[in-house]
Structure 1
Amino acid sequence: MRVSLRLLRYFTAAAETGSTTAAAKLLNVSQPSISVAIRELEALFDDTLFTRESGAKMTLTRFGVRKLAEAHQLLNAAASFEADDSGDAAAGEVQIGVFSTIAPVYLPELLRIARARFPDLSIRFIEGDLMQLEDALRSSRIELALMYDVGLPADIERECLAELRPYALVPAQSKLAKKAGRLSLHDLAKEPLILIDLPHSREFLMAPFWQCGLAPEVRYRATSLALVRGMVANGLGVSLLITQGDQTMAAGAIERPIREETIRQPLVIARPARASRTKASELVAQCMRDAVDAALARRAGQGGKAASKAASSRRRAPSLR
C-alpha cells in the first residue's frame, strides 16, 4: 500500500479536530472514510497514531505527533508543487498562526486584504499562545505566524514589523485617568493589577515593574484581552498591556502611556529557520505586513503616515535573525 495525499489530509484533519466526525465535516466526506484512512496508515506503520477512549477526544500518541509533523511537511510541499506547476501561487493554501491576544486587532484586516487581492488563495489559521505557536512552527503545522518575539529560539526566524511599548489601562473614572501626562509605574503598582495570564506574556508584562523594584498585587488573571478591558472598565483594577485595541471595546477604560522607558515588544512574522518558502506564503506575509501597517496607521491617526513610511523602509531590507 502506498501513502496518498488523501490519507495524509484525512489523518491531519482528525488530529487537528480531535474526532473522525469533526474531520469528516471539515473535509465534507463521510465519517467512515476518515476512520478507514487512519486504520490504513496504522496498518502500514504497524503502530498506533491515536489513543482512543470512549466519548473522549482522540489524542495523538508520541508516534502520531511525529507522523503529524511529517504529514504537514509533505502536504505543504505538495501545495507548493501544485502552485508552482500551475504558475498561480495565489490559488494555493497557506496555514498560519496568530497570537490569541493580537488576533482581533490584525487578523480580520489580514483576511480582508488577502481576500480582496487573492480571492482564490485559501488561508487557514489557528490561534494560540506564544508557546503553542512556537510548537506549531516547529512541527510544520503552520508556515508562518504573526506573534510577539519573547525570546524566540534560534531555530525560529523573525522579521520585525513593529516595536510596541507597554501602556497602562485604567478605569475612566479613576484618579489615574484624570492625572495629566504619562503615568508612572510606581502609581500603577499601588492599584490592584489585572494580568494577562499566558505563557511568556505574563513574565514580559511584569518585567517593567520588576525593573523598577515594584511588586504590584495581582488581583485577577485573564487570558482574554477583551475580558481584561471589561474588568478594568468596571473598576476592578488596572492593567499593563502591549496589544492596543479599539477603545469601543470597553468605553469605561482609558489607555495611558507609561512615563518610564521600558523594554519594547517586537511584533514579528515568525517562520521555521531553513524551511522552504512557498510563493503563496510569501503573498500572505505581504498581506500581514500591510495589515499591521493599516492597524498602526489607524491607531496613530496623522502620525500613521510616518509609521507607514518607516515600515516600508524596513520592508525593502527586512530584519531577519
Structure 2
Amino acid sequence: MSLSFKQIRYFIATAEAGQVSQAAVNLSISQSAITTAIRDLEETVGAQLFDRAPHGMHLTYAGRQFLSHAYDIMKKVADAQQLNLVTSQVSGRLTVAATYTVIGYFLPYHIERLKRQFPGLDIQLFELNRESIEEGLLTNRYDISVLLTSNILNPELSAEKLLSSPRRLWLPAQHRLLSAGPVGLREVAEEPYIMLTVDEASHTSLKYWSQTPYQPKISLRTSSVEAVRSLVANGQGVAILSDMVHRPWSLEGRRIEAMMLQDPVPSMDVGLAWKRSAEFTPAMTAFRAYFRGAFHIPD
C-alpha cells in the first residue's frame, strides 16, 4: 500500500489535536475517515504511530519520528504550491507589526519561508500590543500586521482571517475531568483556573464566561504561556487556551491534555490587517499573496 498525502494530513491533524474527534472537526471530515487513514498509514510504514487511550491519541516513539518527516513533506508541498504565486524578484522594505502570541507561536516558520521565497524583501518585524498596532497602521508607521483579527476594533482597518484556532480546556494528565464525560464551563468553574492575560486573553475569556451563570475561580493571572503550561501540567489549575499555543509537554516533561468543551467557546482567529485606504506596494502584495497561498484563501 502506498503512502498518500491525505494520510499525512490526517496524521498531523490527529497528532496536533490529540484526539480523532477534534481532528475531524478541524478538517471538517468524519472520524471514521481519519481512523481508516491512520490505520492504513500504520500498515504502510509498518509501525504503530499512536497509543490509543480513552481520552485521546498519544504519539509513540515511532509516531514522533514520523511526525517530523510528515512536517517536512507538508513543507515541501507548500513550497511547491508557492512557485508561481508572485515573482521572487520583489524587493524593498516591509514593516510588519505582530502581537506577542503571533510572533511566538505562528510567524517564525512563515518569516523563514518568506525570506527564502523573496530574498530581496527586507522584512522589519515589530512586536506590539493590538492598540499600538492599530494606531501604527493608521499613521503609516507599519505597512501590514499579523495579529489576532478577532480582537480588532477599528473600522478604518481591513482584516483577512488566515486560520481559526479552537480553544480547548487544558488539564494535567489523569485529571478527573478527562473521564467525567461531557464537560462544560460549569465543571471548569469548580477548578482552580490559570488566567492568561497577554494579547487580551483575559478579556476574551471573560466575555464568553459572562454569557453563562458561571465564573472561573482564578488562582493566578500571568502573561506567560509557559507559566500556564507548567502550572497546568503540575496540577495547579486548568486553563482554556487555543490549539495554536498548545504543546503536549511542559518544560518539566509533564503531560498536558486538551479537551473540547460542551459550551460554545470562540476560536482564536489569526490573520492580516492593514489600513483600509492603503495603496498596496509590491512588497505588501507579495506578503499577502504568500499567506493567501499558504492558507488556501480564495481570491
Q: How does 1:97-112 map to 2 (within 5 A)?
A: 97-112=97-112
Counterpart residue number, 1:172: 173
Distance in 2 between residues matched to 1:88 and 1:255, nearest whole Å: 40
How far did residue 243 of structure 1 move? 5.0
Letter in 1 for 2:127: E
Q: Does 1:156 align with 2:157?
A: yes
Q: Give 1:270 shift.
A: 0.7
Classify the secondary structure of the residue corresponding to 2:236: coil
- Asked if 2 retains the 8 angstrom alpha-carbon contact of 1:100 and 1:127, the reply is yes
Which of residues 252, 255, 261 is equivalent to 2:255?
252
Change (3 A) 1:184 1:246: closer
Is residue 101–residue 243 contact of structure 1 (8 Å, CA) maintained in 2? no
After superposition, the Cα gap between the structure-2 partners of 1:151 and 1:119, relative to the gap in structure 1 and judged at 3 Å, is: closer
SS of the aligned residue for 2:190 comes to: coil
Distance 1:97 1:151, change over 3 A: closer
Q: Which has the larger radius of gyration?
A: 1
Report the Cα distance in structure 1 between the residues aligned to 2:246 and 2:238, rounded to whole angstroms. 17
CA contact (8 A) 2:147 2:270 kept: yes
Distance 2:141 2:170 in 1: 35
**C-alpha distance after superposition, 1:50-95 (max 9, x if no partner):** xxxxxxxxxxxxxxxxxxxxxxxxxxxxxxxxxxxxx986221111
Distance in 1, matches of 2:133 and 2:156, equals 13
2:201 maps to 201
Question: Secondary structure of 1:244's partner?
Answer: helix
1:198-239 C-alpha deviation (Å, 9 max, x unpaired)? 363311112222211211121111112222212211211111
Asked if 1:269 is matched to 2:272, the reply is yes
> What root-mean-square deviation, in Å, do the aligned CA atoms of Structure 1 and Structure 2 show?
2.3
Partners of 2:88 and 2:118 within 8 A in 1: no
Which residue of structure 2 aligns with residue 315 of structure 1?
Answer: 298
Q: Is the contact between residue 248 and residue 255 of structure 2 (CA under 8 Å) also seen in structure 1?
A: no
Q: Deviations over 1:247-300 (max 9, x none)?
A: 255242112112112334432211111012111112122333455x3xxxxxxx
CA–CA distance in 1 between the matches of 2:205 and 2:292? 25
**Partner Cα distance (1:135, 1:172) in 2:** 43
Question: Where does residue 189 of structure 1 map in the other structure?
Answer: 189
Counting matched residue pairs gives 209
SS of the residue aligned with 2:97?
A: strand
Which residue of structure 1 aligns with residue 117 of structure 2? 117
TM-score, length of structure 2 as denominator length: 0.63
Q: State the secondary structure of the residue aligned to 2:153.
A: coil
SS state at 2:159 partner: strand
Aligned letter for 1:239? A
Q: Letter of the 2:207 partner, please give it.
A: A
Tell whether the 8 Å contact from 2:97 to 2:142 is kept in structure 1 after alignment: yes
| Equivalent-residue separation in structure 1 for 2:94 and 2:207 (angstroms) | 35
CA contact (8 A) 1:131 1:199 kept: no
Q: Equivalent residue of 1:211, what SS?
A: coil
In structure 2, C-alpha distance between the alignment counterparts of 1:278 and 1:249, rounded to whole Å: 42
Aligned in 2, Cα 1:287/1:276: closer, same or farther, shift over 3 Å? Answer: same
TM-score normalised by L of structure 1: 0.59
1:134: Cα distance to partner?
1.9
What is residue 287 of structure 1 aligned with on the other side? 290
Q: Counterpart of 1:284 in 2: which secondary structure?
A: helix
Q: Is the 8 A contact 1:89 1:279 kept in 2?
A: no
Task: Give the counterpart letter for 1:284 in structure 2.
Answer: F
Between Structure 1 and Structure 2, the one with more helix by share is 1
Residues in 1 aligned to 2:142 and 2:267: alpha-carbon distance in whole angstroms: 26
Using a 3 Å threshold, how does the CA distance of structure 1 residues 205 and 289 change in structure 2: closer, same or farther? farther
Native 8 Å contact 1:196 1:202 kept in 2: yes
- How far apart in 2 are the matches of 1:158 and 1:208? 23
- The question of whether the paired residues in 1 share the 8 Å contact of 2:248 and 2:256 is answered with no
Give the distance between the partners of 2:169 and 2:248, measured in 1 at CA.
Answer: 17
Check whether the contact 1:102–1:243 (CA below 8 A) recurs between aligned residues. Answer: no
* Cα pair distance change 1:237/1:189, threshold 3 Å: same
Q: Which residue of 2 aligns with 1:30?
A: none
